[in-house]
Chains A and B, each alone.
Chain A
Amino acid sequence: MQQVFKLPDCIKKDAKFTFCPGCDHGVALRLLGDAIDECGVREDTIAALCVGCSVFLYDFYDIDCLECPHGRATAEATGIKRARPDKFVFTYQGDGDFAAIGFAESIYTATRGEKVTSICINNTTYGMTGGQMGPTTLLGQVTTTTPFGRSAELNGYPMKIAEHIALCDGTAFSARVSLDSVANIIKAKQAIKKACEVQIKGLGFGFVEILSSCPTNWKMTPQEAHRHIREKMIPVFPLGVFKDVTKG
């Protein structure tokens, strides 16, 4: 019988995801695990993890992991890669970690063209601390620190992370994907794998921003959360590949 579904080798056989019901982190971790497996680099992988819900990756993955200070994962990934250029190095961060407190490190890692891969979960809020305004919070979005909705005048605008990263000369691949539907999950998988491959080929920085649900802090059901991604997030954060040096 043909096996059509199996757990990635990256993910521990006894792993029990502890994310909130309906959270897309589990889907993102599965896709990344599949990509690492397919690239055949699991045993040569070192992950630099962040602070926030994303850090729990080390509880679920069968790989070497380094816990980093909030926002510093790409700097630590740079150090790992410079010390061991033969290893596959990735970061897995939230939008607050990658694009607020760590944006300087992130943009310079891309600019230097570090041969590492970064996955950024964009759920428009700080999930672990209970739903405060983050760099990608939508205009009008109610959070615990924007009780009247995010106002451009008061709070500025949501950041377009993947577009910023695509502007860096050292970036080999930058895309924004979504986990709101099966079709988009398949595209997300392709983008994540591409972001891994450009590192392995030594082409530069590989980056994927993943629009991801946070039903708990959005105060929605999982279905409502995915509809929210489609109707409210994608119009602000368009999906697509913003840079791909492997395409002429």
Chain B
Amino acid sequence: MAKTLISGNKAIAQAAFDAGCDCYFSYPITPQTAIGEYLSEIMPKANRGYVCAESEIASINMVIGAASTGEKAMTSSSSCAISLMQEGLSYAVGDQLPLVLISVMRAGPGLGYIYPSQCDYDQAVTGGGNGDYRIPVLAPSTVQECVDLTHRAFYLSQKYRNPVIVLSDGLLGQMMEPAEFVKYPYPEIDTSKWALTGAKGRAPRKIRSLEINEEKHNQNLQHIFDKYAQMEREEVLFEEHNVEDAEVLLVAFGTMGRNIKAAMNLARQKGLKVGTFRPITLFPFPNKRLSEIADKTKKIIVAEMNMGQMIKDVKVAVNGKADVVHIGRPAGAWLDETEILEAVEKELGGKYAASI
């Protein structure tokens, strides 16, 4: 199939359309506004739902409303505006509704700015809404993955009846690369057993998280956590290179996953045994595989465009079996391959110095 030169933001928009997204509601915020602009043109033409909402609070709740009818629904936003959606995300989990949120990170805290940043890993992965819950997070590193993981987000959200986040950033959102718009590759999930469509010829349905009965409330929450356990068994995705003989493992997600590969190539040219590991699902996190690698590789460098967020999950996975250090930057220019290589040489230098 022919490839199209397209930005990450527009690729996500087209992929959502191709996945059968029936309703898209959002409020503008840089650096993700192109998603809404793109869909504002093609959704109404296809007789699908589109509203430029009055706020992100409204847009996430419109998405919940559309999702309650069993239709595929999505919103997109960024950083401080996703803070406004946390209530809605928590409700969507409690109501067990499938929806997709595209999060294109800017640099915070507060209004921050639109510099490249990965400062909202924690916001996406550990959430800011109330209650004991998780949301699957898929982190693309290329425009092609923007397409593929947007498709997958719709599938997973419907399979598990839970919100799913695609975690992109301003760099990937603006970057143009060739991408192939493959047909939506997943089976359609039947929503007719639970969706609100009017109580015609069947008992009325209530979608709600309120449960006054304590035992029933516990059962409902246990069911949600059973789904998370299934995700951890079935949905973990990652990419790894040269881990078998690696003395240093570079770990990064999203766009930084590109730069650790470049750094690894430079290191290998110098004869340094460096491997890379990129979690694609940030929840469920690839704990098992990282733990296996840490049996042999004792130096792990986590490179993030933040001051240390994913590193906490890496440390949990490694569980003390390897030294885990962080290199990062709060916002602005990304860590390039030479900076990452310097960190590698520092780590190896330390080891060699200690052995003399």
Contact = CB atoms under 8 A, between A and B. Distances in A.
Contacts of A58: 206, 208
Given A43-B199, A84-B71, A64 B205 contact: yes
A112 interface: yes
Interface stretch (B33-41, B49-57, B341-349): B49-57
B350 interface: no
A173 B138 CA distance: 45
Nearest to A12: B204
A46 B64 contact: no
Contact of A112 (B51, B199, B201, B209): B51
B61 A66 contact: no
B197 interface: yes
A126 interface: no
A-side interface size class: 20 to 34
B42 interface: no
B208 A67 contact: yes
B196 interface: yes
B130 to A, nearest CB: 11
A63 B69 CA distance: 14
A63 B206 CA distance: 8
Given A66-B196, A67-B208, A48 B65 contact: yes
A203 interface: no
Contacts of A48: 65
B196 to A, nearest CB: 4
Given A79-B25, A83-B49, A84-B69, A68 B204 contact: no
Given A55-B210, A80-B65, A80-B196, 19 more contacts: A43-B200, A44-B200, A46-B197, A63-B204, A65-B196, A65-B206, A66-B196, A67-B208, A67-B209, A69-B87, A69-B88, A75-B61, A75-B62, A79-B25, A80-B68, A82-B23, A82-B25, A83-B65, A87-B197
B199 A75 contact: no
A78 B62 contact: yes
Given A64-B205, A83-B66, A105 B61 contact: yes
28 contacts: A43-B199, A46-B196, A61-B204, A63-B204, A64-B196, A64-B205, A65-B196, A65-B206, A67-B207, A67-B210, A68-B65, A69-B87, A69-B91, A72-B61, A75-B53, A78-B51, A78-B58, A78-B62, A79-B49, A79-B63, A79-B65, A79-B67, A80-B68, A80-B196, A82-B65, A83-B22, A83-B69, A104-B55
A75 to B, nearest CB: 4
B73 interface: yes
Nearest to A101: B57
Contacts of A104: 54-55, 57-58
B18 interface: no
A77 interface: yes
A82 B59 CA distance: 12
A45 interface: yes
Contacts of A72: 57-58, 61, 64, 88
A46 to B, nearest CB: 5
Q: Which 6 pairs from chain A and chain B are nearest by CB? A: A79-B65, A67-B208, A76-B65, A82-B49, A79-B62, A75-B61
Interface string B55-93: 101110111111111010100000000000001100100
B-side interface size class: 35 or more
Contacts of B240: none
A58 to B, nearest CB: 5
A245 to B, nearest CB: 22
Interface of A: 42-46, 48, 55, 58, 61-69, 72, 75-84, 87-88, 104-105, 108, 112
A62 B67 CA distance: 21
B204 A62 contact: yes
B180 interface: no
A209 B22 CA distance: 33
Given A69-B91, A76-B68, A83-B71, A63 B49 contact: no
B95 interface: yes
Contacts of B91: 68-69
Contact of A83 (B23, B54, B88, B204): B23
Contact of A46 (B57, B73, B198, B210): B198
Contacts of A79: 23, 25, 49, 61-68, 73
Interface in B6-42: 22-23, 25
A220 to B, nearest CB: 28
A105 B73 contact: no
A64 B61 contact: no
A5 B65 CA distance: 35
